[in-house]
Amino acid sequence: MIAPLLAALPMLATAPPPLDDAPRPNLVVIFTDDLGYGDLSCYGNPTIATPHLDRMAAEGQRWTQFYVGASVCTPSRAALMTGRLPIRSGMCNTRHRVLFPDSTGGLPASETTLAEALRDLGYATGAVGKWHLGHRPEYLPTNHGFDSYYGIPYSNDMDRLPSAPSGRVAITEPQIEYFNVPLLRDTEIIERPTDQRTLTRRYTEQSVRFIRDHTEGDQPFFLYLAHSMPHVPLFRSQQFEDVSLRGLYGDVVEEIDWSVGQILDAIRGLGIAEQTLVVFTSDNGPWLTYDQQGGSAGLLRNGKGSTWEGGMREPFLAWWPGTVPAGQVVPDLGTTMDLLPTAVLLAGGEPPSDRILDGVDLRPALLDTGPSPRDSVFYYRGTELYAVRLGPYKAHFITQEPYGQNTNRIEHDPPLLFHLEHDPSERFDLSADHPEVLARIRRLADAHRATVEPVPNQLETRIPAD
């Protein structure tokens, strides 16, 4: 009698649970603003100390070829929140590249957000931080699937008051009162101007409180923490003044690193680490035109606003002790748009099937059961497709300086072609050597364009000036 029982035990111990019974993880998405590929110690920065993010990387995965959906704030956030390229939601524009305080548009109600998808699956949902997907009440987080919201509705350099100095000096030598940015709780303004010095700390406190409040019981949670920093103007709390070898920008990133430590410590302390997937990334590359107050894309070319790698490739860490392998470096392709289908599948649901999703299921790579299914990346500037990556190759149909209308806009025929694994800095054009690769990428671009339906543009409409 004993032998058959023993023989059966290993099967009991190792058989995977049926999918329906698999525990549904909590999800925390930490999204910074304008942080570059080269701004963390675990991505090679020599003078910004990020011990908490480095530990997160050591305990989880560090991806090296992970992308966002656009190189500026609004469309990148739309991509993350919808799992779709912003061209499909009308959340990108060539003339007005982001939403402004006088914009009247926002993320359409017809889009299914990550928060709505997870709430439909029984998750509690909270948003903390910068939104920038529309600040009119109908566009705010609490009308897009979040149970609660605490944060600023657009960028921290907006709402500049007439009394502030003109030009760059208001940004590079900032005072709180130059920027009349409101702080909201749900849809109500609770502070204006926002005291930006304590914003990172207060976002952290709100986030930890949300996690604590949603740990009891069986209901999983989704927390979206979108830091306003290190987008200029740079502010940090007193505790982080002059702590970094990298100066003011380093102070700001080191406070964000502290924040990550607080959140992971709370999750560990509450005993929910093995039920919680935490990811960390940023919305777009470093704002290089702000010199030392902008970050670094490391070895990647250019930064925010451009379709070179430095504009759209970002640090990406994934942490889920016991499920995501510890200490793994992942060179597979991934994007922020992949988080929606991946999270919905982890939650036991099905991604929306009534629309085109640009995101793919990253579970094989996250759970180390196989490669990422993604083999391509589309790089838009505004509403125009500038470049396409297929496997290791990237073709630039158009290149342009990151800012200014038509500044050095160059159409390339043949397109520039780079092998990003051999040449991550995009220095050596291979177009003459590989016409067959260019032909494949052109076919892919044409097939992609054929899937894009015209929709109302949400960034075009602004209140006329008096």
Binding range to Mg ion, per CB under 5 A, among 127-135, 284-292, 346-354, 362-370: 284-292
Distance of closest approach, residue 456 Cβ to Mg ion, in angstroms: 24
Q: Determine how many CB atoms are found less than 10 A away from the CB of residue 463.
A: 10
The single residue among 283, 309, 332, 426 that binds Mg ion, judged by CB under 5 A, is 283
For 165, half-sphere exposure in the C-beta direction (CA atoms, 13 angstrom radius) is 10
- Residue 284 interacts with Mg ion (CB under 5 A)? yes
Candidate list 52, 73, 214, 227, residue with the active-site label: 73
Q: Shortest CA distance to 214 belongs to which of 348, 141, 129, 118?
A: 118
> What are the residues whose beta carbons fall under 8 Å from the beta carbon of 228, sequence distance 6 or more?
33, 129, 130, 151, 152, 155, 156, 196, 199, 200, 203
Distance of closest approach, residue 296 Cβ to Mg ion, in angstroms: 15
- Residue 32 interacts with Mg ion (CB under 5 A)? no
Distance of closest approach, residue 33 Cβ to Mg ion, in angstroms: 4
Closest CB to Mg ion among residues 228, 342 = 228
CA-to-CA dists, residue 213 to 204, 223, 425, angstroms: 14, 12, 45
- Residue 152 interacts with Mg ion (CB under 5 A)? no
Binding range to Mg ion, per CB under 5 A, among 28-36, 43-51, 185-193, 409-417: 28-36
Residue 132 appears among annotated catalytic residues: yes
Contact yes or no for 406/365 (Cβ under 8 A): no
Binding range to Mg ion, per CB under 5 A, among 20-28, 71-79, 175-183, 363-371: 71-79
Which residue number is nearest to Mg ion in terms of Cβ? 73
Crossing angle for the helix pair 248-269 and 51-59, to the nearest 10 degrees: 50
Closest CB to Mg ion among residues 34, 358 = 34
Distance of closest approach, residue 19 Cβ to Mg ion, in angstroms: 37
Closest CB to Mg ion among residues 147, 283 = 283
Closest CB to Mg ion among residues 73, 234 = 73
The single residue among 35, 56, 73, 118 that binds Mg ion, judged by CB under 5 A, is 73
* Size of site (CB under 5 A) for Mg ion: 5
Interior angle at CA 445, CA 440 and CA 449, nearest 5:
150
Candidate list 132, 135, 227, 396, residue with the active-site label: 132
- Residue 33 interacts with Mg ion (CB under 5 A)? yes
Distance of closest approach, residue 216 Cβ to Mg ion, in angstroms: 35
Q: Are strands 376-381 and 384-390 parallel, antiparallel or unpaired?
A: antiparallel
Closest CB to Mg ion among residues 92, 344 = 92
Closest CB to Mg ion among residues 281, 284 = 284
Q: Identity (one letter) of the amino acid at 371? A: P
Quote the CA–CA distance of 134 and 154 in Å, as a whole number.
8
Spell out, one character per residue from 333 to 372, where the chain touches Mg ion: x when CB under 5 A holds, - when not: ----------------------------------------
Contacts to Mg ion from residues 112-141, by CB under 5 A: none
Contact yes or no for 54/40 (Cβ under 8 A): yes
Residue 306 dihedral angles phi and psi, to the nearest 5°: -110, 160
Distance of closest approach, residue 381 Cβ to Mg ion, in angstroms: 15
Distance of closest approach, residue 335 Cβ to Mg ion, in angstroms: 16
Closest CB to Mg ion among residues 276, 284 = 284
Write out the DSSP string of 76-142.
Answer: HHHHHHHSS-GGGTT---SSS-S--TTB---S-TTS--HHHHHHHTT-EEEEEE---S--SGGGSGG
Q: Are strands 328-335 and 61-67 parallel, antiparallel or unpaired?
A: parallel
Interior angle at CA 429, CA 425 and CA 431, nearest 5:
140
Cis peptide before 230 (omega within 30 of 0): yes
- Residue 34 interacts with Mg ion (CB under 5 A)? yes
Binding range to Mg ion, per CB under 5 A, among 13-21, 265-273, 276-284, 446-454: 276-284
Q: Identity (one letter) of the amino acid at 41? A: S
Looking up tokens 């290149």 gives 399
Known catalytic residues are: 73, 132
Footprint of Mg ion (CB under 5 A): 33-34, 73, 283-284
